[in-house]
Structure 1
Amino acid sequence: MSIVEIKVPDIGDFDQVEIIEVLVAVGDTIQAEQSLITVESDKASMEIPASQGGVVKALKVKVGDKVAEGTVILEVEAAEGAAAAPAAETPKAAEPASVEASKAAETPKTVEAPAAPAPAVAPVMASSTPDRTSPTAAFAEADVPLRNLPHASPSVRHFARELGVNLAQVTGSGPKNRITADDIRAYVKQALSTGGASPVGSTLPAGEGFSVLGWPKVDFAKFGEIESKPLSRIKKISGANLHRNWVMIPHVTNNDVADITDLEALRQQLNAENKKAGIKVTMLAFLIKAVVAALKKFPEFNASLDGDNLVLKHYYHIGFAADTPNGLVVPVIRDADKKGVLELANETSELAAQAREGKLSPAQMQGGCFSISSLGGIGGTDFTPIINAPEVAILGVSRSAMQPVWDGTAFQPRLMLPLSLSYDHRVIDGASAARFNAYLAGLLADFRRIIL
């Protein structure tokens, strides 16, 4: 047995291409010429085959990596005497395979070419969709069939990713149902005009729906020195989701303040009592407990919109925004209604630490019913948090401050906490939001009410 490195073959004129799919996993037994990864340039997508069969011992690349000729894809343990596949031909990446096929169909052959030796197997273009299971299925949406990339050019797929459009829901109007940029624009217009309930693949008549001017193209370097660096992976993913949520959800924000003078005194007392145990109670733990009580009283806030139906949830999984060096992530506290303040404080601290270290699993960021975004440790008086779809509301918390509050006879110094509640106006009206915020503020002002 020997360990063999399988590298990216000659990929033509491209310096680097991006990996959009990994088709094998460690432990798989592969055959020579079996597809290993799918890469995408600005012109085409292609699959890179194995030059050697064997058992996969190590993967050296992942989705999103940029690779070039000679980059090691993986290591395989090859059986003694196993023959390597012939060197792969340079893939012609200028056009997708479907275009080549259509040209061949349109141009009849008048002269039969002489017989030639069998060519080496070239990487298969991504428009060819063999039936197999991908180890990167976790990166795909549940309703998108694996190994069936949409019939669209790479530039159109990139355009769709920027707008947060699932190409599986768009019907193409181009040759052989190929999806075009105009199909993407029409789909977005339809979704914006109907609140996201547009039929799949439908288009709008010209002049209807919502449209905006193109993004300005500016040469910033002519005004002074600049530096360009790519967005982090977290910001790319969250940015697309935030864009979709802001455009698709009619946001309204209700602002209120809560008197947390007594609650802050209780927090400090608990921290003093549990100092030896190493448990630090934060205001977030109290907020989660109070939010759960408010969700029980106002169940429409613990729901999701599914077409014309409102899905009411009977569980209470609360997400909270965690600041990390690469951007915001939202860990989820499961069954928060069954946990005490000390347990919530300990769990939020552990999840926040995992988030900063980049160790959160996808499961730890799924299933949330309601989110809390706290900027209290940084500053600000109020803000408009963006709803985390498919939730229908999110609570923003700013920095608390001592303020003079009139008690009927005199002004008293009280610690006031700003609350900003953003809600989906399709589900929640202004009066309900004001009641929710006022009830939440009342719980924080007198935490004894939490047991009623």
Structure 2
Amino acid sequence: MDIKAPDLGVESAEVSEIMVAVGDVIAKDDNIILLESDKASFEVPSSAAGKVSKISVEVGDQVSEGMVLIEVDSDVDSEAADESSDSSKNEPKPSKTDTEDSKYTEAEDANNEQAQQTKDNADSSKTQNNTGSATTHALPDLGVEEAQVAEIMVSVGDKVTADDSILLIESDKASVEVPAPESGTIEKILVKAGDMVANGQDFIVIIGSNADTSDSSAADNKASESEDSKPQQSADKSEQATNESKQAASPSKDDAATDSKAAAKSASNKLTEAQVNEKLTEVYAGPAVRKLARQLGVDITQVSGSAINDRVLKEDLFAHVKESLTTQKSAINSGSGAARASLPSLPDMSNVEIWGETEIEDLSRLQKVSIPQLNYNTYLPQVTQFDLSDITETEKLRSELKGGMKAEGIGFTILAFIVKATAYALTQHPRFNSHLSDDNTQIILRKTVNMGIAVATDDGLIVPVIKDVQDKGLKQIAIEIGELAGKARDKKLSTKDLQGASFTISSQGNLGGTAFTPLVNWPQVGILGVSEASMQPRWNESKQTFEPRLMLPLSLSYDHRVINGADAAVFTRYITTLLADPRRILL
């Protein structure tokens, strides 16, 4: 006899555990297989008794309704089987499952019902009467070891009918409503909101209604009907028992929808899942994966699943985030989209009376390409540290050297000193010369300093890179700054000239301004902004007087996930010290 998967409430589920072995003798309704879907874990009972002769599935297989799980050799005695077979000759030919179920005689059904009734009476602390007895009920299998009572949906004295929702249980996997096990009146609630509960724990006491007595009488009336109707009654009861087993083994589609809504309601106070909730039912993903998607801020409907039936795994989420942050195509689609996610669309500005005259101007190609990269800053917790460096002595040294440099055709600006000092500071504070890993668990430290230098062009800002700055002298740095700036203005920069930066310097030179907040160029974790130097009065402690000093404003922006405020202050002050006396670099 083939034991098939019942209605699972979902398209398919994964075999998590096989609870029987070949040769085992099982009874009807014994649990044989544990299935796990994206909504819950549930045990599948056997629809017939017998000896297990074959197991047709393995752990990890995906099964769906009607698939053969195991095969059993029926242990029903031949006489009962013959009687059932003879009775069934006068009936329309049933399906295979109904044929097997109909082998059970009415006597066996009655014995099963009597045994079940005896068990119920043993569990009950009172004898059933016309008004029903008070019965203590235990929680069904929750699919997890324990879960929390999120809400109690009834009160003492309330009248409930079987399958009415009475408790909302919440675990890491899902929120599930526990139905009333029978109709009646709530006498006592044994748990309270916030309690951690486990499978089989007593949770409620219900006084059964008269419906129980009516059901028992109805069963007696059915048993006293003519012998001709016994086969049909047996088939009906078998079908009913099978349906009840299906309902008990797995949540119905309506229950699954209710559970999904409850989970969404529970998470709504924590994350903005409502924006994609309408489409979530189309996604095949487990509760843990959906929770991770909410934590990462990922619209799970945009993630492609790699498992069977396009099921979305945690690895798919990580791959989606990585692709969004590293590929140009994803940068355009998700980067700018993320930036505008919290912004409404522009209003209609065609009304001249409100907005006045307008004119449309296209962005340059460079600006369009830069926008997705700039949008990454919406993901970074950026902070800026400001400081001043006394470069009076450094400027005197530069003035002494620039004449000889100019004779060689080299532009020797203060930027060469800033690049050299910053590169040396990065070797002493390597955390600023690093990147944060995709999973936010590691820091990738760079062993070389590739310095990005922001250059203003007619088309916008561009950042060429000087490689291995830590090994180069001031003269070589000045030469490469001049070469890269010229290539940027002439639009002759190659792809290699723009790749590999580990840190960036953005200098406003003599454009004016006292300070600004530069944006960290992801995946870097820091950028140094340099404003125009100016003469300022500074107190000379040894001379006890003010004297004019050339002060250079510095603005260090950093990714707070990697750099804390104290380290940023120390790093910035270290650079100011090096710029005040470049000879320190030689020590």
* TM-score bracket, shorter-length normalisation: 0.5 to 0.7
1:297-354: CA deviation from partner (whole Å, max 9, x where unpaired): 1110010001211001101100010101111010000011111111111111110111
Secondary structure in structure 1 of the residue aligned to 2:478: helix
| Match in the other structure for 1:259 | 390
Candidates 270, 273, 276, aligned match of 2:407: 276
Aligned residue in 1 for 2:573: 438
In the TM superposition, residue 427 of structure 1 has moved relative to its aligned partner by 0.5
Separation (CA, whole Å) in 2 of partners of 1:201 and 1:284: 40
Asked whether 1:296 is paired with 2:402, we answer no
Who is 2:455 aligned against? 322
Greater per-residue helix proportion? 2
* Partner amino acid, structure 2, of 1:225: E
In structure 1, C-alpha distance between the alignment counterparts of 2:468 and 2:526, rounded to whole Å: 18
Over 3 Å counting, the alpha-carbon distance change for 1:288 and 1:191 in structure 2 is farther
Which residue is 1:413 aligned to?
548
- Matching residue within 515, 518, 529 for 1:396: 529
TM-fit CA distance, 1:254: 0.2
Counterpart amino acid of residue 386 in structure 1: L
Distance 1:192 1:422, change over 3 A: farther
Question: Counterpart of 1:237?
Answer: 369
Report SS of the residue matched to 1:263.
helix
Matched, 1:345 2:478: yes
Cα separation, 1, equivalents of 2:442 and 2:525: 13
Aligned-pair CA distance for 1:192: 8.0
Contact 2:410-2:482 at 8 Å conserved across structures:
no
1:267, distance to aligned residue in structure 2 (A): 1.1
- Inter-CA distance 228–432: structure 2 relative to 1 (3 Å threshold): same
Assess, with a 3 A threshold, how the Cα gap between structure 1 residues 220 and 345 changes in structure 2: closer, same or farther: farther
Output one character per residue of 1:279-301: Cα deviation in whole Å (capped at 9) or x when no partner.
12111111110011100111100
Distance in 2, matches of 1:435 and 1:174, equals 48
Distance in structure 2 (CA, Å) of the matches to 1:253 and 1:406? 26
State the alpha-carbon separation in 2 of the partners of residues 404 and 373 from structure 1: 26
> Structure 2: which amino acid aligns with 1:359?
K
- Runs of 5+ consecutive residues of structure 2 not aligned to the other structure: 1-278, 284-291, 300-315, 322-339
- Equivalences for residues 111-260 of structure 1 within 5 A: 190-191=296-297, 199-200=318-319, 212-219=342-349, 222=352, 223-244=355-376, 246-260=377-391
Counterpart amino acid of 2:557? Answer: S
- With over 3 angstroms needed to count, the CA separation of the structure-2 counterparts of 1:396 and 1:188, relative to structure 1, is farther
> For the Cα contact (< 8 Å) 1:321–1:374, is it kept in 2?
yes
Which of 464, 467, 488 is 1:355 aligned to? 488
- Identical positions, percent: 44
Question: Alpha-carbon deviations, 1:136-185, whole Å to 9, x = none?
Answer: xxxxxxxxxxxxxxxxxxxxxxxxxxxxxxxxxxxxx69998xxxxxxxx
Distance in 2 separating the partners of 1:407 and 1:242:
43
Contact residue 187 and residue 201 of structure 1 kept, 8 A: no
The CA deviation at 1:233 is 1.1
Structure 1 pair 187–357 and aligned structure 2 pair: CA distance change class (3 A) = farther
Read off the aligned partner of 1:349 and give its amino acid letter.
G
In structure 2, the residue corresponding to 1:321 is in which secondary structure? strand
Question: 1:303·1:313 contact (CA, 8 Å) conserved in 2?
Answer: yes
In structure 2, relative to structure 1, the CA distance for the partners of 1:192 and 1:374 (3 Å cut) is: farther
* Displacement after TM superposition at 1:224 (Å): 2.9
1:311 aligns with 2:444: yes
8 Å CA contact retained: 1:396, 1:420: yes
SS class of match (1:295): helix
Classify 1:375/1:393 alpha carbon distance in 2 versus 1 (closer, same or farther; 3 Å).
same
Tell me if structure 1 keeps the 8 A contact 2:465–2:501.
yes
The letter of the residue matching 1:366 is Q
Aligned pairs, how many? 264
Corresponding residue for 1:102?
A: none
TM-score by length of 1: 0.55
4+ residue stretches of structure 1 with deviation over 3 A? 173-177, 186-193, 197-202
Counterpart code for 2:296: Q
Instruction: Please state how far the C-alpha of 1:221 moved relative to its aligned partner.
Output: 6.1
Residue by residue, what CA displacement relative to the aligned partner does 1:409-434 show, whole Å, maximum 9, x if unpaired? 11110000000000110001000000
Conserved? CA contact 2:406–2:412, under 8 Å: no
Offset from partner CA, 1:4-38 (integer Å, 9 cap, x none)? xxxxxxxxxxxxxxxxxxxxxxxxxxxxxxxxxxx
Go from structure 1 to structure 2 and tell me whether the alpha carbon gap of 1:187 and 1:432 turns closer, same or farther (over 3 Å shift). Answer: same
1:407 CA drift (Å): 1.0
Question: Could you give the per-residue CA deviations for residues 62-118 of structure 1, whole angstroms, max 9, x where no partner exists?
Answer: xxxxxxxxxxxxxxxxxxxxxxxxxxxxxxxxxxxxxxxxxxxxxxxxxxxxxxxxx
Q: Distance in 2 between matches of 1:355 and 1:242?
A: 19
1:237, CA displacement in angstroms? Answer: 1.3
Q: For structure 1, which runs of at least 5 residues remain unmatched after alignment? A: 1-172, 178-185, 203-209
Amino acid at match of 2:451: I
Change (3 A) 1:190 1:393: same
Q: Look up the equivalent residue of 1:371 and give its one-letter code.
A: T
Change over 3 Å in CA distance of 1:189–1:175 after alignment to 2: closer
